[in-house]
């Protein structure tokens, strides 16, 4: 594989799509050495095939606002790769959504889903619709119009969307209600649903909780304890809320949250009341964090800045792509940061990652750190295929050992003088599953991401999940009260429309 040659061809085909090109380059450079040890990969052009999406749908979304005016947005669905299972990936509603961002997210999703060992492919979708300032009725009408086009391209064995930025329980309810009306079936084709209509226990918390469980294992392997550590978190949405909740429960002190308007520094740390207020801020639909400083004396608001200038032990970017750049990394390192756990998708720019690796501190890549969300979505898909109403299952561990312990990966070699890097382990996991390559030309891509055959059910892949599924979530008591409060607060049931 010649990375520069592949990238030159991609740049010619997809000019100006910087996020997508960045994501592809990062992955190819990471696996280049291992890939080139397998001539069968090159003979079947695996790299060239895997960096291009299977198909991309672009469509017009026409809806009517509360004033009676017609509005027009653009909708997308990028189905990237379904080698090991149906396409799986979220829907993002945000003004910044464009083909480049969705391609990068869909490409990342392939590796993230493969890393969970669950049979799910990679996809992403969304629209440039902005939910900020919209009424429930306007959001409902947009979601219904969006699903009127999307429904023909998705299905429980074809493509299973979920939520992302701008798409929470309310939006999933509207989308799912319209899908059921159009498809005339109740198959649970979207994940992230309310508990009363097919949702899974702790799905709202799963991404943030899973990230903290992953962080805790990173710390343990580095000989540290999460208790007493100070943490800087960016964002204030569902993922940041989950991460702040679990980190606080485990004894850490979360001292920052952030939004598009700036960041909050709270030296006393977040507690239950402050974390609950994060939900109020998000529910206000104003997309700002400044009111936090007025409500909680002792905290400070820094307009237009990012939280990476604060002296902390751990940094957890939880907001959006490329939010932590090289200069931010220098500030964190100068202030003595010990660990970086990337929770957002491609949250760190390449120069920031290089700086953390050069400083020899543990760095966890987003594909692994935030996989708790999609892993729990896999559980929701399983329960829906079994026609279960909810997922009140047993206890689950944060992540399989092969996710957090790269040296155990088969064939992964570490350069002299370097710590094992998790961002290498995530891609090598999928790559080395392809050792036993058979003669069928199409089989190479499938094996690139596949699980062992004996881990799969002989019938539907979702009727009998692999044993390793029990290792996805942390072995911790389920907080029923917390789940109940969340469901009541968002009243997700009322958003289902028929």
| C-alpha of 32 from chain center | 24
Is-catalytic flag, 124? Answer: yes
Catalytic residue among 88, 103, 112, 124: 124
Query: Hey, is 409 helix, strand or coil?
Result: coil
271 Cβ contact list (under 8 Å, min separation 6):
248
Residue pair 125/89 in contact by the 8 Å Cβ criterion: yes
Report the candidate in 83, 56, 54, 88 with the shortest Cα–Cα distance to residue 159. 88
DSSP letter (8 states) at residue 392:
-
Q: N- to C-terminal Cα distance for the chain?
A: 51
Classify 160 as helix, strand or coil.
Answer: strand
To the nearest 10 degrees (0 to 180), the angle between helices 371-385 and 203-221 is 130
Cα gap 294→401, rounded to integer Å = 44
Q: Dihedral of CA 302/306/310/315: which sign?
A: positive
- Rounded to whole angstroms, the Cα distance separating 366 from 320 reads 11
Specify the residue for token string 């995530």.
426
Dist CA 406 CA 131 (whole Å): 40
Task: Determine contact, residues 495/140, Cβ cutoff 8 Å.
Answer: yes
> Quick check: 223 and 254 in contact, CB under 8 A?
no
Residues catalogued as catalytic? 124
């Amino acid at each position: 594989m010649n990375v520069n040659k592949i990238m030159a061809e991609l740049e010619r085909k997809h000019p100006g799509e910087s996020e997508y090109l960045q994501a592809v380059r990062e992955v190819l450079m990471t696996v280049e050495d291992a890939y080139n040890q397998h001539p069968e990969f090159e003979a079947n052009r695996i790299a060239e095939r895997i960096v291009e999406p299977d198909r991309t749908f672009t469509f017009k979304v026409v809806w009517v606002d509360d004033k009676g005016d017609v509005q027009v947005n653009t909708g997308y669905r990028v189905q990237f790769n379904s080698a090991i299972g149906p396409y799986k990936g979220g829907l993002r509603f945000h003004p910044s959504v464009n083909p480049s961002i969705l391609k990068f997210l869909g490409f990342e999703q392939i590796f993230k889903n493969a890393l969970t060992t669950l049979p799910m492919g990679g996809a992403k979708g969304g629209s440039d619709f902005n939910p900020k300032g919209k009424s429930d009725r306007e959001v409902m009408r947009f979601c219904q119009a969006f699903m009127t086009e999307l429904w023909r391209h998705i299905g429980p064995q074809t493509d299973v969307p979920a939520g992302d930025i701008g798409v929470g329980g309310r939006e999933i309810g509207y989308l799912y209600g319209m899908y059921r009306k159009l498809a005339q079936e109740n198959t649970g084709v979207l994940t992230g649903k309310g508990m009363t209509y097919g949702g899974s226990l702790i799905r709202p918390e799963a991404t943030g909780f899973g990230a903290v469980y992953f962080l805790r294992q990173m710390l343990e392997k580095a000989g540290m304890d999460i208790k007493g550590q100070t943490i800087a978190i960016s964002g204030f949405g569902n993922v940041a809320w989950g991460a702040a909740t679990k980190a606080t429960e485990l004894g850490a002190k979360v001292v920052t949250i952030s939004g598009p308007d700036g960041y909050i520094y709270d030296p006393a740390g977040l507690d239950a009341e402050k974390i609950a207020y994060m939900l109020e801020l998000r529910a206000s639909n104003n997309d700002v964090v400044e009111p936090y400083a007025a409500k909680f004396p002792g905290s400070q608001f820094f307009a237009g800045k990012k939280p990476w200038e604060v002296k902390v032990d751990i940094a957890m970017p939880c907001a959006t792509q490329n939010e932590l750049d090289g200069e931010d990394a220098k500030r964190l390192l100068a202030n003595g940061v010990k660990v970086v756990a990337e929770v957002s998708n491609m949250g760190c720019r390449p120069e920031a990652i290089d700086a953390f690796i050069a400083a020899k501190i543990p760095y966890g890549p987003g594909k692994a750190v935030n996989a708790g969300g999609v892993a729990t979505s896999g559980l929701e898909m399983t329960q829906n295929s079994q026609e279960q109403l909810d997922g009140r299952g047993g206890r689950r561990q944060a992540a399989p050992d092969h996710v957090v312990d790269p040296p155990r990966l088969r064939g992964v070699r570490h350069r002299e003088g370097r710590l094992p890097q998790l961002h290498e382990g995530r891609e090598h996991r999928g790559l080395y599953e392809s050792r036993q390559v058979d003669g069928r030309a199409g089989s190479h891509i499938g094996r690139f991401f596949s699980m062992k055959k004996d881990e799969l059910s002989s019938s539907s892949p979702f009727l009998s999940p692999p044993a390793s599924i029990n290792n996805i979530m942390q072995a911790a008591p389920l907080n029923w009260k917390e789940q109940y409060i969340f469901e009541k607060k968002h009243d997700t049931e009322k958003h289902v429309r028929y």
